[in-house]
Every structure is written in C-alpha cells, then in structure tokens.
A and B are shown apart, each in its own frame.
Chain A
C-alpha cells in the first residue's frame, strides 16, 4: 500500500521546483518571483511573518490558486494544476493550518471527502484503520469531528493526507495548536515519512522547532524569497532577523514590580456552557494582585473562552462573589459596570468581538470607552473626544493606517491588535484581562504589545493573559496556570514552569501523580 520505493535518480532533479512564481491581487504582490526547490528525503521549512506570502505559495503548489506568472516543475517537467484533486493525484498532500474538516461529519466521512472516491466506503474505512495503525495515529472512524480534541483533529488531517500515499506533503503550522508532547509525537511521524523517501514542506513560526527538525529553510519576506539556508547552522535570532528584516526590540521587564493588593479574585467559579459544543467551567479559583501578571496556558477549547466570558461579564455567574474586581463582588454585574470598576478586556477575536469590523475606529473606541471616560455628554457622543482617543492609541502604539479614522476591518491584524490593546491600556485599567494578545500578529507588533502589558503591570495593574504561546507566557508572566477540560491548575512560578511540566498539565495529567510515579520508580 505505502509503496514509495526510493527513486535512485531522485537526487538529480528536485521533486518540485518553482520558477519565478508570482501571485498578484490587484496591485498587491502576495508572491514575487519565488524560486524554491523541494528534494525527496528532506524536511524543508518555509519561514516568514504573517503576510509574507507563505500561505499563498503553498496554496499555489496545492492547486488552490493559479499563479499570475512563473511556473512549477514536477520531476523536472512543467506542471499546471487545475485544482487540488489534480495535485493529490500527482502525489501532493496538504495538512491545513485551520483544519479543513467538517464538524458534523464522522471521521471516516471526513477522510473520504479528502480522497478521490475510487474505492468503496468500506474499503476506505479498512484502509483508514490500517494507515492510522501503521503510523501510530489512532482514530475512531465513527465519531463526529466536533467531539474530538484539536490533536485528534490534526491526526485526521494527517492520516487523510497519508492515505493518498503522497510523495510530497505540505504542513501549514501543524504544531501551533498542539501540546509539546503532541508535537514530539508529530515529529516522530515526520521523521519516519522522511526516511520513507517523501519530501515535506513545513511551515512554522517556532524557530527552535525548525532548527531541530528541518534540513533546509526558505525565508519569505513581503512576498519575496530573502534566503535559503540550513537552519541547523543558524541561530533562532539570526532566522528571526531574516524574517523581519530588522532587529526586534527585546522586551524588557524593567525594574522590580511592587506586588500590592488583590485586584481580581475568582472564587470557586463553575459555569454551564451556553452552547452545546462549549466547555463547562469547574471550580475555578485564582487571586491576582496589583503589579502581577498571571498567564493561563492550555490547548484551545479547554474553557479559555468561557472563562473570558465569565470574567468580562458577557456571561453572568449565579453567585456574585465568584468574581471579585477591586474588592467588589462583580459576578452579577454587566460588562459596563465591571469596566466602571476599573477592569478592561481584550478578547481573542479581533474582528467581531474586539471590534465591530465595519465601524470606524472612533466608534469602536466609544463602544468600550463610554462607561468610564468623557466620550458621552448628556447622552450625546462627543466626536472630538472619540477621535482624540483614536489619536492617542495611534501615537502610543504606532498603529499604521491609511487615514485618521478608518474602518476597523481595513487595518492589518497586527495594527488592529495594537489599537485594541492600546484603547484598553490607555484607560489605565486596574485589571486587564487579555486573551491571545499576539495571536497572528507580526513580531514587531507583538513586541510592542508585550512591552505595553509589562509596563501596565509595572504601573500597578493586575494582568491576566491567556495564551497558547508558551514562549510568550515565559517572557512576560510571573506565574502560569493551565486550563484543561474547564479546570484551572494551581499556578506555577514562571521560573519553575518548564515546557515539560506545562505540557503534562496541558494534556490533563497532574504533576503530583507523576511526581509520585517518579518517586516510586
């Protein structure tokens, strides 16, 4: 079945070569004359910031979009793809970043949709079981996808791609959603695929991972290829410099912060989910003092969104005492009332949750700022004040935009995030709850945002940061707790929270039990 015998001549021509590949959207060049060579038995990294053109490039190679100029050579011969199914039939497989799965269909149905339907459903199910056993990627074909964890979902994608017996597999940020342990398991599979003679194109932001895993790296910046190098011979910071083009400012923790009074306290908070696919919060307690930054790690979908909603007041708790802001029981208070107590909230989703996409920035500033500033007078909007709020955030956070007051949706992800964080921080909140502060944000903007969070804590505020990026949490937090299945672990001091410990907690093990095992052994 998996009959890719190594081709003796494969080392003379690349498996896939792109020559001057260009993709144009109007005046915008998403890919500008990109040349890349993919060889069998190699894991090739594709690096670049958001918007550098990585996704456009792999979508072109997978036949999803047509190049404006340039060509692709497959085994040295010109290849024009009419669509993904032709790419698949030639032996190109793809594992998508935002999984291309169907939540209400079963695992087997999802796999069937990614194949070309030449075998019966029964044969396909049998082969699915076989492939998933061979690679140690266990799957239950009858379950519906919405019931599965993120790691299991990714397994479906990988097994689906492997069932086509691909010569060339593209993985778009496969570890972004995995625990460190799950990522290690993935690396074992990838190494095995490599020794089977397959080529792999690996997109990632995580430079340490790329150094460890990949044989070659191509770096894109603003649509252009800037370098091809051996990542093992580079340092993480030299790779980052090539990606960004300039040195990234180091985030500085600054002077010793003064830990003061408790500003945000959660007491035994339990909450039923309001949507059938949601997570039930169970007995969550935490205490956050002024000057302190607490991080919440965890794989997405373990209750972080529900906790954010309970803290911000989007959902009210039964007992007012479960959420205490600045010493006042706030569990039953509305979002606006909580803001008046000095709390500020930055949700994960920038468009639609953090801002109203089709409204201007000044209107968006008003939406969260009206409770506790002079933007509304006698029931009327003070447009001068709202515009001034936009200007202040623009200046303090270097928000780049085409005009003074554009629609929120017209800003790039990084700039919009800087605006939202700036809008909240400039209100000088006593408590800041922020979810995924730098998700999908370029490195420069991420540094600005992290520095601002540190500065806010230094000024005496209590900050709660939810993030899936462990490096980010290590950089800015004092303590880290982990969410798993709606429960929150005891916080660890960041200096003692190793990736291994956090990974175990993210996978649902408790540290005490494992420690006991270690002692027993």
Chain B
C-alpha cells in the first residue's frame, strides 16, 4: 500500500510540468499559433527559476522568475512570427535551440547548488488520513495550481467572450479580422500566456521535483507537452487525462526497472517517448468530424490596411 501511495505521489509530480506547459500551449494553439519552442522556454524557465530561488531563498520568487523568463522568450517568438510573419515551425525550432543554449549560460553558475524544495501542504487531520490524505491534501502547491489553471483555461475559453474571440482567431483569422478583432494582438497575448506557462512548468522541475539545476533537465518534456495538446484534441479536460497518463508511464517504467523486469533499461526509458509517437499516430488515424485542430493553426496572417 505504501508503494502504491508513493507511486501515485510521484506520478502526480511527474505529470504536473507536462500539464502546465501543455495548458499554455493549448491556449496558444487555440489562437492559431503553433509554438514549437515549448522545450526551449521550459529549460530557460528552469534555469531562471532555480537562479531566482537560490539567490532569494524564496520558491515564489523563483517561480515568478521562471514565468517572466518564459514570457520574454515567447515574446521573441511573437515578434518573429506575428510581427515579421516568419514561418512558425522554423521559428519554434530556433526558439528551442536558443533556449537550450541560453539556459546553459544562465545556469552555469548554479550547477551543483541546492535549494530547499517547495513545501508540501499540510492540513492537520486531513493530510494524516491514511492512503488518500497525502495524495489529496499533502501535495506541493504547484500541483493544485496546475489543476486550477486547467479549470480557469476551460472557463475562459468556453464561458467568456474574450475566450470566444480567441477561439475565433484560431478558426479563421480572415473572418476575425473582417469583424474588426485585433488578430495579431490577441495572438501575441496567447503566445505570452503559453510562454508564461512553459516557464512555470520549467521552473517546477528545480523548485519542486528535484531541488537542483542541471543543464538539459527538461529532457524532452516540452515535446511531450506539445504532443499532449494534440492528444487532448485541443480540449483542456482531456489534457489532464493525457498528462497523468504520460506521467504514469514515466514513473512506472522507473519502478519496473527497479523491480528488475528483464527489459533493457534504455528501452524502458524510451517508453514515454514511444507512447507519444503511438498516441500521435493513433489520433491522426482516428480523426473524424468537427472539432479537431484549430483551422488556422500555424498559418501566417498579415492584415491588409
């Protein structure tokens, strides 16, 4: 039983950065922008988040540094793809390369340092309930924040007028422009939100997951977050399922390796990535009918004036 509890706790922790980053990317893509630079924004968020926390001694300041770093990097992307109408795929890949380099530079001074990880919630009585107590009431604050974020994004997209306008920009930017909506401004804001989420997701890794910074510590999580958005068919609710599923694969393969299952460890470590590929293939095969990808996703828009 203790093992089950431990597994669930570590699955939640492993899933949270995926969920936060994917939620941000979902909003960006719903506005019609494909930002492939999630990995780059995450790793810069991790470096800056750790740096902020190490220098200030505060997890909150660390998280804020991660958010701001991700947002600034996403602004570079917005300037290129929205301001200068550069190809989004190429810009996104370039952003990842830039982010990886930049994080190494920023984080160079912090390698080998340790910080106090983010405190876990403790409600006397509730947290002490056996089995479910720690899972429901004893997590780090980011986990609750990530779930609140998904609910907020869902409410924004489907229950508010600005959310409707954002979805409209992603469906048909020509129509949205013709009706008088500032397509490029809305998209810039969506890209910045995506950047902020990616930065926070990256910062989660050194702030709560492992209390130190190593270069390349995002280890492809940004790419998994991208795949998750497709897996969720751009619906926030399904994102939660997807993120926890991928988190579970990541953790279970570790335990399987620990238990000495006779499969090469390299294969087991590749499982989450393999699962990403398989899910992407299955989804693209099973796609039918209406609400799939935002119709204007990844297309360049230049308004006529």
The docked-state distance in angstroms from the alpha carbon of A295 to that of B290 is 32
Q: Is the interface of A mostly helix, strand, loop or mixed?
A: loop
Which of these, A66, A114, A144, contacts B179 with CB under 8 Å? A114
Query: Are the C-beta atoms of A109 and B179 separated by less than 8 Å?
Result: no
Q: Chain B residue with minimal CB distance to A109? A: B164
A103–B171 Cα distance when bound, in Å, is 7
CA distance A65 to B290 in the complex (A): 33
Q: B247-288 CB contact bits vs A (8 Å, 1 = yes)? A: 000000000000000000000000000000000000000011
A117 nearest CB neighbor, chain B only: B161
The interface centre, meaning the residue of A66, A98, A101, A102 with most chain B CB atoms within 10 A of its CB, is: A102
Complex contact B161–A64 (CB within 8 A): no
User: Among B164, B175, B294, B304, which residue has its beta carbon within 8 angstroms of that of A100?
Assistant: B175
Query: A64-B180, A101-B172, A102-B175 are contacts. A113–B291 as well, Cβ < 8 Å?
Result: no
| Assembly CA distance A84 to B180 (angstroms) | 5
Determine if A276 is an interface residue (Cβ-Cβ < 8 Å): yes
What string of 1s and 0s marks CB contacts (under 8 Å) between A139-155 and chain B? 00000101100000000
Contacts of A85 in B (CB 8 A): 180
Residue of B nearest to A63 (CB): B180
The answer on a CB contact under 8 Å between B178 and A105 is: no
For B174, the chain A residues whose CB sits under 8 A away are 98, 100
Asked if A102 and B168 sit within 8 Å, CB to CB, the answer is yes
Residue of B180, B289, B291, B304 most packed against chain A (CB within 10 A): B180
User: A100 contacts B178, CB within 8 Å?
Assistant: yes
Q: In the complex, which residue of chain A has the Cβ closest to the Cβ of B162?
A: A117
Mask, B48-84, CB within 8 Å of A = 1, is: 0000000000000000000000000000000000000
Question: B175 — which chain A residues lie within 8 A by C-beta?
Answer: 99-102
CB pair B290 A113 closer than 8 Å: no
Does A113 contact B164, Cβ atoms closer than 8 Å? yes
Task: Provide the residues of chain B in CB contact with A101, threshold 8 Å.
Answer: 172, 175
Number of A-B contacts (CB under 8 A): 62
State how many angstroms separate the Cβ of B99 from the closest Cβ of chain A. 32
- Is A373 on the interface with B (CB-CB < 8 A)? no
Across-interface contacts of B171 in A (CB, < 8 A): 102-105
CB of B295 within 8 A of CB of A105, answer no
The residue from A83, A104, A109, A276 contacting B287, defined by CB atoms under 8 A apart: A276
Q: Is the CB of B304 within 8 A of A104?
A: no
Inter-chain contacts of A98 with B (CB < 8 A): 174
Given A63-B180, A83-B180, A104-B171, A113 contacting B305 (CB threshold 8 A): no
Is B300 in the interface zone, CB < 8 Å from A? no
Q: Chain B residues near A103 (CB, 8 Å)?
A: 171-172, 295
Write the chain B residue with the least CB distance to A66: B305
Instruction: Knowing A65-B305, A112-B164, A117-B161, say if A104 contacts B180 (CB, 8 Å).
Output: no
Is the C-beta of B227 less than 8 angstroms from some C-beta in chain A? Answer: no
B176 smallest CB distance to A (angstroms): 8
Alpha-carbon distance between A285 and B294 when the two chains are bound, in angstroms: 37
Chain B residue contacts of A147, Cβ below 8 A: 290
CB distance from B297 to the nearest CB of A (A): 11
Which residues of B (163-192) have their CB < 8 Å from a CB of A?
164-165, 167-168, 171-172, 174-181
Residues of B contacting A113 with CB < 8 Å?
A: 164-165, 168, 176, 179, 181
Task: Report Cα–Cα, A114/B165, bound state, in Å.
Answer: 10
Known: A64-B178, A64-B180. A276 touches B289 (CB 8 A): yes
Contact across chains for A105 and B161 when beta carbons are under 8 A apart? no
Whether the pair B304, A65 counts as a contact (CB closer than 8 A) is: yes
CA distance A117 to B179 in the complex (A): 13
Say whether A439 faces chain B, with CB atoms less than 8 Å apart. Answer: no
Tell me if A187 is interfacial: C-beta within 8 Å of chain B: no
Q: A63-B180, A64-B178 are in contact. Are A102 and B290 (CB under 8 A)?
A: no
| Residue numbers in B under 8 Å from A63 (CB-CB) | 180
- Chain B residues within an 8 Å CB radius of A64: 177-178, 180
Q: State A99–B179 Cα separation when bound (angstroms).
A: 11
- A96 interfacial by beta-carbon distance below 8 Å: yes
A93: shortest Cβ distance to chain B, in Å?
Answer: 11
Question: Contact between A146 and B179 (Cβ–Cβ < 8 Å)?
Answer: no
CA of A83 to CA of B161, assembled, Å? 19
A146 lies within 8 A of B305 (CB) = no
Task: Give A318 Cβ to nearest chain B Cβ, in Å.
Answer: 21
Do residues B168 and A105 form an inter-chain contact, with CB atoms below 8 A?
yes
**Which chain A residues (267-306) contact chain B, with CB distance < 8 Å?**
276
Q: Mark A106-142, 1 if CB is under 8 A from B, else 0.
A: 0001001110010000000000000000000000000
Using CB atoms, name the residue of chain A closest to B182.
Answer: A83
Chain B, residue nearest A85 (CB): B180
Q: Do residues A146 and B178 form an inter-chain contact, with CB atoms below 8 A?
A: no
A102-B180 contact given A109-B164, A112-B161, A117-B161, CB 8 Å threshold: no
Query: Which residue of chain B has the shortest Cβ distance to A25 in the bound complex?
Result: B304
Query: What residues on A are CB-neighbors of B181 within 8 Å?
Result: 113
**A contact residues around B177 at 8 Å (CB):** 64
Per the 8 Å Cβ criterion, residues 130-168 of B in contact with A are 161, 164-165, 167-168
Determine how close the nearest CB of chain A comes to the CB of B28; give it in whole angstroms.
17
Contacts of A102 in B (CB 8 A): 167-168, 171-172, 175-176
Contact A146 B290 (CB under 8 A): yes
Q: Contact at B179–A100, with CB atoms within 8 Å?
A: yes
Report A-chain residues with C-beta under 8 Å of the C-beta of B178. 64, 84, 96, 100
A248-278 residues with Cβ-Cβ distance < 8 A to B are 276
**Interchain CA distance A144-B291 in the complex, whole Å:** 9
Tell me the minimal C-beta distance from A141 to chain B in angstroms.
Answer: 14
Whether the Cβ atoms of A144 and B290 lie closer than 8 Å is: yes
The answer, among A84, A99, A105, A117, for a CB contact under 8 Å with B167, is A105
* Min CB–CB distance A363 → chain B (angstroms): 23
A105–B171 alpha-carbon span in the complex (Å): 8
Min CB–CB distance B217 → chain A (angstroms): 38
B290 partner residues in chain A, CB cutoff 8 A: 104, 144, 146-147, 276
Digitize A191-214: 1 where CB-to-B-CB distance is under 8 Å, 0 elsewhere: 000000000000000000000000
Q: How far is the CA of A104 from the CA of B168 in the complex (A)?
A: 9
Bound: A276/B294 CA distance, A: 15
Q: How far is the CA of A98 from the CA of B175 in the complex (A)?
A: 9
**Residue of A63, A98, A113 contacting most chain B CB atoms (<10 Å):** A113
In the assembled complex, the Cα of A291 lies from the Cα of B177 at a distance in Å of 48
Whole-angstrom CA separation of A117 from B164 in the bound complex: 11
Chain A min CB distance to B53 (Å): 42
CA distance A117 to B168 in the complex (A): 14
User: Min CB distance, B163 to chain A, in Å?
Assistant: 10
A selection of 14 A-B contacts at a CB cut-off of 8 Å is A83-B180, A84-B178, A84-B179, A98-B174, A100-B175, A100-B179, A101-B175, A102-B167, A102-B176, A103-B172, A113-B168, A113-B181, A146-B290, A276-B290
6 interchain residue pairs of minimum CB distance:
A84-B180, A100-B175, A102-B171, A100-B178, A83-B180, A85-B180
Known: A65-B304, A100-B172, A102-B175. 8 other contacts (CB 8 A): A64-B180, A100-B179, A103-B171, A103-B172, A104-B290, A109-B164, A109-B168, A113-B176
| Interfacial residues, chain A to chain B (CB-CB below 8 A) | 63-66, 83-85, 88, 96, 98-105, 109, 112-114, 117, 144, 146-147, 276
